[in-house]
Amino acid sequence: MTLELSEVCDWLGAASPPHAATVRGYSIDSRTLQPGDLFFAIQGELRDGHDFVGDALGRGASAAVVRESHTGGGPVVRVPDTSAALARLAARVRRRWGRPVVAVTGSAGKTTTKDAAASLLEGFFRVAKSEGNLNNQYGLPLSLLRVPARADLAVVEIGINRPGEMRPLARVAQPDVAVVTNVGTAHVGNFGSADGIAAEKGRLVEELPEDGTAVLNADDARVAGFRRRTHARVLTYGTGPAAQLRAEGIEDRGPEGVRFRLGGCTFASPLAGRHNVYNILAAVGVASALGIAVRRLRAAVAALRPVPMRGAVRKVGGVTLIDDCYNASPPAMRAMLGVLARADASRRIAVLGEMRELGARSGELHRQVGRAVRSAAVDYLVAVGGRAADIAEAARVPSEFHESPLEAGAALASLLRPGDVVLFKASRAVGLERARDAVSQCLALRETEAA
C-alpha cells in the first residue's frame, strides 16, 4: 500500500525527516530493494540491517527506519525497535485497508493450502497472497504492507518456531478466516511436545472475531479441539464422519494426483498424495466460509499446480523426479513416501535428508521415517546429512549415506535408468535441491546425447 512518509512517521510516533516522500514499497533487504521502498534496518542473528542503510538509501529508498541510537545520516525514521515498528505499521495498514484476511497455519501444508485457497478464490475476487513462505515476524508484516489497495481480500501464511510467537502475529494479521491444517512434530525441539505446539497454534483462532470463521481439520484431534478456543463460527473438513466438508471415495494415484467426492461432486487434482486432499479441503473450506458454493470450485481444483519444491513432478531422461525439497517433518516424510509407494515405477528411489529442530527425539523420529521407508517398498535409499544416517539404519533396504547433497546427487545420477521414480525430501537447511539439480543436469545431458 502506498503511503506518505509523514503518515508513516505519525503512525510510528517518530519525527518526520525534513523532506516529503512517498513510500511505494517495503523492504528489509537492501539487495532487492526497489526505488521508493521504505527500508527497515532489522537486527538479525547473522547481520544487522543498520550496516546496509547507506546501500539502501543509495538504491533509492524513500527513507530508512532505524533504531534511535543509529548515527548515520540521510533520510531516516528513528524508532526504539525496528522489528516492532515493522509489525506496528503493518497492523495499522491492515486496519486501514479493512478487507478480509485469511490466515493459514499448521505444522505441514501451510504454503500449499495458502496457495490453493488463493487460486480457488481468484475466480471470484481480486486476491492478494503472501509470496513463498513469507510467514514469520518479518515476512508476515511485509506481506500485509504489500497488499494492493484494490485487492478484495488477502491470503497469508503464519509460521511459528517458538512459544509466544503466534499471538503477536495474529494481532498483526487480524484474520477474518483462520485455517489450521494440522499439528505435528515440526520444530518440536523448541516446544517440548506436540501438545506444546498445539497450545501455540491454537492462539490463532483465539484472535478471530465473533463473526469470523475457523476452518479446522476434523481428523486431527488437537486441531478439532480448537473449536473450544474460539467464539467464531467453526467449519471442519476431513475424511471422517465429524467433518462438515467430507472427502469420500479417495483415489490416491501417486504422482498422478488424487480424486475424491465432496458435496455430491467428483473432484480431481494433479496435487500428489492423500495429504493433499486435506490441503484442497482446507482451501475449499476457505472458499465456503466466504460464500462460494462447493460445486463451483471443481474447475479451479483441477487447475491447481504444486508449489515449487513442494511435490512438483517432472520427467527427465525417462526418470520421474518428485521434488519435495523445501522442508520436512516426520509426518510429511511419511506422506511423500506414500506418494512414492503408489508410483508406477521400475524402481522406487528415495533421497531423504536430515530433519532439523526435532530436539531430544531426533534419533527416534528419524528411525521412524526409516521404518516407513521399508513399508513403502522403496528399492533404494540415499540418505543425506547428519541424522539421516538413522533413517538408513532403520530402513534396512539397499542404501548409501552422504554428508553433502552434491555428493549424493553425483552418486545417484550414475545409478538411474529410465522407469525409475525418485523422491527428494529434506529439511530446508540441508539444501537437497543441489542433489536434485545435479541429477536433473546429468539426466538432461544423457537425454541430449541420446537424441
Mean pLDDT of the region 363-391: 95
d(CA 123, CA 114): 15
Tell me what pLDDT residue 186 has. Answer: 62
CB 329 within 8 A of CB 372: no
Cα 22 from chain centroid (whole Å)? 32
Q: What is the rounded average pLDDT of the residues 346-355?
A: 97
Task: Indicate the residue among 280, 302, 324 that finishes a domain.
Answer: 302
CATH number for the domain that contains residue 112:
3.40.1190.10
Q: Which grid coordinates belong to 65? A: 527506519
Q: Is residue 329 part of a domain?
A: yes
Q: Evaluate whether residue 255 is within a structural domain.
A: yes
CB atoms within 10 A of CB 367: 16
Task: Examine the domain organization and report whether 367 and 337 are in the same domain.
Answer: yes
* DSSP line for 206-255: HTS-TTSEEEEETTSHHHHGGGGG-SSEEEEEESSTT-SEE-EEEEE-GG
Residue 171 resides in a domain: yes
- Can you give 82-105 as a three-state secondary structure string? HHHHHHHHHHHHHHHHCCCEEEEE
Residue 86, domain member (yes or no): no
In the chain, how many domains are there? 3
More confident call, 450 vs 357? 357
Supply the pLDDT for residue 44: 86
CATH code of the domain in which 7 resides? 3.40.1390.10
Tell me the residue length of the chain.
Answer: 451
Tell me which residue has cell 539397499. Answer: 398
Backbone angles phi, psi at 416, to 5 degrees: -80, 150
Given a contact cutoff of 8 angstroms between Cβ atoms, the answer to whether 273 and 335 are in contact is yes
Q: Which of 150-154, 190-194, 336-340 has the lowest mean pLDDT?
A: 190-194
CA distances for 55 relative to 34, 59, 83, 268, 383, angstroms: 12, 6, 19, 49, 42
The residue with greater pLDDT, 278 or 188, is 278
Query: Does the pLDDT value for residue 19 go beyond 90?
Result: no
Q: Report the mean per-residue pLDDT for the chain.
A: 94
Tell me which of 50, 79, 108 is where a domain ends.
Answer: 79
362-389: average pLDDT: 95
Q: Are residues 252 and 353 in the same domain?
A: no
User: Helix crossing, 274-289 with 330-341: angle to 10°?
Assistant: 110
Both 209 and 285 in a single domain? yes
Residues 106 and 168 in one domain: yes
Return the pLDDT at 379: 97
Q: What is the DSSP string of 43-91?
A: B-SS-BGGGGHHHHHHTT-SEEEEETT----SSEEEES-HHHHHHHHHH
The whole-angstrom separation of Cα 125 and Cα 136 is 26
Closest by CA position to 281, among listed 240, 326, 323: 240
Instruction: Give the span between the Cα atoms of 275 and 108, in whole angstroms.
Output: 10
Q: Does some domain include residue 61?
A: yes
Positive or negative: CA dihedral 227, 230, 234, 237: negative
Mean pLDDT to the nearest integer, 425-436: 95
Q: Is residue 93 part of a domain?
A: no
Helices (H) and strands (E) in the chain, counts: 17, 22
C-alpha distance from residue 235 to each of 226, 231, 246 (Å): 11, 12, 11
Q: For residues 376 and 379, what is the distance between their CA atoms, to the nearest angstrom?
A: 9
| Residues 115 and 19 placed together within one structural domain of the fold | no
Task: Specify whether 286 is located in the same domain as 363.
Answer: no
Same domain, 298 and 328: no
Rg of the chain taking only CA atoms, in angstroms = 23
- Whether 268 and 333 share a structural domain: no
Judgement on whether residues 120 and 24 belong to the same structural domain of the protein: no
Going by DSSP bridges, is the β-strand pair 233-238/76-79 parallel, antiparallel, or unpaired?
unpaired
In a domain? residue 92:
no
Select from 295, 287, 306 the least CA-distant residue to 263. 295
DSSP assignment letter at 397: S
**22-31, 67-76, 348-357, range with the lowest pLDDT:** 67-76
Count other Cβ atoms within 10 Å, centred on residue 171.
Answer: 14
Does residue 334 lie within any of the structural domains?
A: yes
Collapsing DSSP to helix, strand or coil, 161 comes out as coil
Q: Are residues 358 and 393 in the same domain?
A: yes
**pLDDT score at 185:** 67
- Contact of 193 with 160, CB cutoff 8 Å: no
The model's confidence at residue 189, banded by pLDDT at 50, 70 and 90, is low
Of 79, 107, 130, the last residue of a domain is 79
Do 355 and 397 share a structural domain? yes
* Distant-in-sequence, close-in-space partners of 389: CB < 8 Å, separation ≥ 6: 383, 401
The rounded percent of the chain whose pLDDT value lies above 90 is 85
| Residue showing cell 533413517 | 391
Q: Are 235 and 379 found together in one domain?
A: no
CATH of the domain at 318: 3.90.190.20
343 — pLDDT class (breaks 50, 70, 90): very high
Domain encompassing residue 354: 312-450
